[in-house]
Structure 1
Amino acid sequence: MLKLSEIQKNSIAGSVVMFTASFMTGFLLADTKIGGVASFADISAAGALGLPSATAILTGSIIHSIFMRSVGKNIIKISSLILIMIIKLFSETKKDPRLCGFTTAMSIIASGAAVSAIIGEVFYKLIFYIIYGIIAGIGAFSLSTVIQGLNNRFVADFTTVKGYSYAVVYTLSIAALCTIELPLINLGAIMGIFITLIASYRYGCSGGALCGSLAACGAFLASEEIGMAVVLLPVSGIITGYADNRKHTTSAMIFLAVSFMLTVLSGASSDSIDTMLNLLLGALLFSASAPYFSDRLIKTETDVNSGTLALMDKRMKFLSDSVRDVRRQYAKLSDILSSDSDVNNNINGICKEVCTGCHRRLACWKNESGKTSDGFRKVSVMSEISEEKFPYELEECLHKPEIIRLLEKTSHENAVTRLIEMRFSERRKLLLELIKIIEEVIGKAGHQPELRFSDETARKVRNKLEKFNINPNSVTACYNSSERLLIELYFSGSEHSEEVIRICDLVSDELHIPLAASEPVNSGEEVRIRLFEHPKYALEVYGVSMSAENNGQNGDTSHVFGDGTGISYIVLSDGMGSGKAAALESGMVVKLFRRLINSGIDYKSAVKLINSVMFAKSGNEAFATLDAARIDLDTGELTIIKSGASATLIRHDGGIMKVSSSSFPIGIYERSEIFTGSYAFEEGDIIIMLSDGISENEYKFIRELLLQGDDLKLIVDEIYAKSTVFKHDSHDDDVTVIGIKLNTIN
């Protein structure tokens, strides 16, 4: 089947622009040369792009060849373009860079071989066309790789092997543009100067040297004359990069001054005026665009930074492993001591009082020490003691009545000791659980998220704030995996915590990016403020709640918050019973969860810490459920978190899913039980969270509501209104219903 659906997928405006650009590429490059032979840049472009663009390039090349009467000279190029277009009609080579390169190379080789056979020069020309086709194939492969990378994230990623593809495309683009003949100016030279200036300004001398060298290489591929005009471009880029200035206009002036001096020193010629004009136009283009250039468009990473992060990750993992080993050794030692302490104390006490004055002491404890020790160990743990039930190891003992008397005397003391030991055992278990949580927190803290740091943006933010007498201790700026800007500001004490909106407005104005701010988080020593670009999605949340006693205090607590990185949490906790005590328990759970999450602890470790706090805080029986929805507003990824909570209903893709768990509430047991699950969640999907005041008899009714409408407020109000109708008993409980809907930010 013909692959023509691609034409219908793009918008009309985008298709027209792309078709026009492709047509001009074919038209302008039809008779150009690279390295003394016909340019293959247009063939590589046709091989890398889709069917509409390949057709436009072919059309432009044919029209130009007809006007210039050079169809015969360009017959191999035209034949190659026709073959590429035919192949694209029946296969989607655009999606695979390797296939794009192979198709381009084989089209040139086949066309060259066919034409050479017709004119009788097969063996003479075949080797040339094989090499020519391979080079063009590499160009098509590189361009296709670059296009795919930009389509996925719209970021030029120089940290992987793809960086070589960008270098190839840049060099060939300069070469192709240099071959276009225009009066006084050269487009390739101007582009090379512009990019070299950008690289020098943003990435210093190394960026200027690299981009300048590649531009000079591309110019030499076009012609020796053009190459000599920009041969000193890498030197200008290096010197401009070493200037380490902060203003783009200053960089442009330094670059022009250095280039002018180098041109004079190398010997002025008739082409020097054209060269200086190209330099001036490139510098003007840089000055106009530099303020709008953002490092979000380019991803770079030095070996030093990656090595530092790897070392930090390794050290944190090693520390986590060490803490785990200490916990295991402590647990083993604790078990040994707790199991042997009471028995050993009983044996030692009885032996001291009974056996010390016995004339058979040496015979029992020296000649038969193992047998005697086993006998005393057995008798010390017997529930009922009598001479008839004495262990056979102590059959010859002369002081059985005395041993029985001493054991009965200490039985009450042993019972008290065991109760105390049970209490200590609970504390040991709690301590071990806390050590385990610390181990997990340390281990997960070493995990490095996919962030790309921007020192340039951090410097801009700091300078802007300092102008208004706002002095942060630390400023960090980075881009997350969705290429969304995140900024973290740290201040001493509670300084500037009341100026979040003002700080956000100042930074937004400086960066020309609309930003939002999270609530300040206080660690006790510092305050952290996070600024962030708006994510792809936003949440619509609506909830209603009613106390069991109508006018009494509601024992359910709910809260909606974000951590400032694009993750939002909707939390619902139901305290045991109802009234003030239940509200206190649920409020503590929600408050602790929010505090720990905002401090940077992952949600699983946060729940475990809260459980330990609730279990140890009081001897009274008090617990609360935890129900949370964690939503990534960049991707829509949904995670449900439950500890003893009621079921959650999710509407997705036209169906309803019920998520429930059999975990215990928080605070019942020293080891927390937490249920987590990840689910698909897209625009328009709805989540319904319920407290245990809602009967399961109402779930069928809720399903019907979710399937019939999209009005979140109406759905929640209907569920709330019917909560009393569906009660399965006369027991009153607090009722809370929360609805969550995922929407796209326009």
Structure 2
Amino acid sequence: MNVRSVVTLREGTGTVLLRTAAAAAAAFAFSAGYAGGSPSMLNAGLAAAFPAYTAPILAASALYYLLIGGISAGVIQLSGILITAVLSAAFFRGRSDGAPLAASAVCGGVLLLLSFTVSAVTPTDTSAAAGRMIASVMAAVFVYALRRLMHEYRLTKMLPLTGIGGLLSAAVYVSVISALSSVTAVIFDLGRLLGCAVLLCIARRWRMTGGAAVGALTALAVFIGAPKMAADTLLLASAGLICGAFAELGVLAVGVSFIAVCAVGAATVGSGAGGWSLFFDAAGGALLFAAVPSGLLGKVTSMLFGGVSAADTVGRAAASRLGFVSSSLGEIRSQLTVVTAAMDRKIKEQSLSEAVFDGLCRGCELRCVCHKDTRASAKGFEELEREAMSFEGVSADSIRRYFPACCTPDLMTDSFNYAYKTRIDSRAARLHIGELRTLVSEQLAVTEEILSDLSGRIGRIRSVDRELSERAGEYLLRLGYRNARACLYTDESGFRHAEFFITGEFVGSRMELALAVSDIADCMFGLPVITKAEDLTRIALSEQPCYELSKGIFTASSTDNGYSGDSMGTVELSSCESYAVLSDGMGTGKRARLDSMFAVSLASRLLGAGVSMRSALRLINTVLRVKGWDESFATLDIIRFDLCAGTAEILKAGAAPTYLFRDGVIKRFGGQAFPAGILDRCSPDEFSCKLFDGDLLLMVSDGVSEDTVREAFGKTGERDIDPAAFAQSLGELAMEKARAGRRDDISAAAFAVKYRGH
């Protein structure tokens, strides 16, 4: 035997030992878990999925049951492992496809039969029997999904997240997290800890889409395995969505934003000890995520999911993928609604009289004396309950008045008051949970809208020119960008666009790149817009638009400290599409500034990611409501400029009017919508208009009155208005008028439109 053979043999032995240890550890952990209120049977499913490791799985499971008090605690699971192993060896050995359906049917059938037998032989209530059935079905689904994924991996060396592959991956993930969510180690819940780490890994790779989807799946899994923790875990859907927006800033930003959202959310809903538990799990998951080397994470995700690049998304039906995820989230939201309604129907509140009678009177030896006249007794209890609900308790005198024969009036008084306090606490707890479910349902709805927006944006691509894309890729290769991806396509309006993705920084001339792409496509392109996320750089070019936009901005604070409550930002997606965002925080000074900056920053990120203005407002409204500050709200004013089509779309939530100045005439766009952060649903005012040469659009905060705007327009000519000079003169005029009255922060942004032809 040569040296290479010895090394190979040692590596093979080490791999087998490692897999054996992993199988045993997983079986031990699954044995401690619960599903549907009954002990998990995922250890039996693990043995059915990996029959070669039946022995270590059986030994680890038996060890756990011995440690907790006896083999009888896992008689169904251990018997299921043995019977499934025998049947698999007899009928499915040697099947190249893994026989996922047959293995799942055998595992599920055996566990269901054993569960039914144990339920019939031993005294068992209905809920325990139903829990065993649910755990058996979950084990069967786990076996089928895992075997299908293993077969797919053997064929393609990757696990696609689209179609049936995505559903199977979600099924395995939910099964594993639900089983581990009832396993506690020190201060951590293993299922939720692992779920937080996976959520952050996915959010870093797939941004807001992946973070929100995994957060929702984690919440669903915890609801199945540990319903008591489900209320706090529902926050993970929102946390995953928000931390995904910070993925471009790196690992630290993703982890810190995730912990901050979990902490603020738990504190806002007042979940007490449960909130601390969620905070510890979120912090532990973030540390675990940060400890994974980025190179290793990239290799694992590329190995499992094929490493799909952003440029290849267009050619791989990305619109269908996002639509599928959106539909999945819609189903989860529907299931959450159904579960909530079912739980509300099952809750039957016991009356105070029933609670006192069952807890005190039923065991009293003199009950026959007090309740000799049942009608009078029932009337007395009715009056006492009415008094307790009206005056927050009863007195001993009231007890003696309605039950003069009672031998323990003081004890009966305490019983009534305790029952009243218990009812109030129970109602308050249900109210908190109801508010949290409403919040999570709203977040899932927002996520659905965002995914639909992204799907619609990609779906607006009419055609991709493969030949021109290859020529553009060759040009980038000549520039030294070896891993560049290029795509030239035409949108539904007939305008051409180009997107390039390169590794590292773009160090060339933007003008030269625009000219080269224009020469390749035989079409004049505008200057490229370059954005960078980690080591990937996106270069977007659009056909030279028909319209040109110039702007002027003026801001001034109402206070002497220089802090303005208004914030403004612009977002440029391409030479054709851009946004202007203005927000006015509540009040003035630092507090108002923080609210408005938060709204503008989040809106800019969402709009830059392709989210529609309406969806961005809905998400900002939800985030402001749970941010943790009293009366934290801000106005939001957004204008979308399409310089290729020559249109403007305006969205307002509590914002001051926007003005269009055209040929000496002023048109006002205003509405009655509330600012973001006040109501559960924020319905904005929306307007649209066609742009023409010489138009001037004006955004202002409420520190600039309509009279001031009309006076400023009256001092200008009808054509060729300089937006910068106009914004400055308008701001100075508003400051002049403010000195004589109530002072407020002043912001004005003027946008002048010029038509330059095709």
Give the TM-score, by structure 1 length. Answer: 0.50
Higher relative contact order (CA 8 A, sep 6+): 2
Over alpha carbons, which structure has the higher Rg? 1
